[in-house]
Structure 1
Amino acid sequence: MEREEFGHILAAEGFEQAVTVTREPDGFLVMHTHPFEAKALILSGELRIKTALAEQTYQAGQVFHLLAGEPHAERYGPEGVAYLVGRK
């Protein structure tokens, strides 16, 4: 998916204006939650998200979606990761 198309989807679904997040190579965050729903487009690198139900790896062009309060852990690839995220 392209950045412009993703921006239109976020707007249509009521997400706030997207911001770009970058994370360091081989970094991680242990299990945690956010008080907001998040939908993000991977711009570069790799991100692995683990929830209670599944573990999935996302790469450039792919979108992930987390509900508010959904426990998850994150692990970043050897080149780190950059993603465009909308929150609501």
Structure 2
Amino acid sequence: MTFDTFRAQALARGFDEVLERQWAPHTVLDEHTHPFAADAVVAAGEMWLTVDGQTRHLRPGDTFALERDMPHSERYGAQGATYWVARRNG
């Protein structure tokens, strides 16, 4: 899948913002929330996403979704990571 395809599909599903996010190697984001719902696919690298005490190891092609204001933490691998994320604001 290309970013353009991901973007078009996300907009058709009612998301209002679609971004490519790139994270530096070994970045750690302690528990936090976002004021938007998110639906994402890992495009490169690897990351670990922890929600409700459960950690998932995500690699290219893996997807994840977060509801608005869902507490979570993120950790990125030795190569960092890139993911495409669709956001539903408001």
TM-score between the two structures when normalised by the length of structure 2: 0.87
**Does structure 1 residue 58 correspond to structure 2 residue 31?**
no
The corresponding residue for 1:73 is: 73
Measured against aligned partners, the alpha-carbon deviations of 1:29-86 in whole angstroms (never above 9, x if no partner) come to 0000001001111110001100114210111111110000000000001100001111
Residue 36 of structure 2 aligns to a residue whose secondary structure is: coil
TM-score between the two structures when normalised by the length of structure 1: 0.89
Structure 1 segments (4+ residues) deviating >2 Å: 3-9
Q: Between the two proteins, what is the percent identity of the paired residues?
A: 32
Which structure 2 segments of 5+ residues have no match?
none
Give distance in 2, aligned partners of 1:44 and 1:80.
8
The corresponding residue for 2:28 is: 28
Residue 64 of structure 1 aligns to a residue whose secondary structure is: strand
How far apart are residue 6 of structure 1 and its match? Answer: 3.0
Which structure 1 segments of 5+ residues have no match?
none
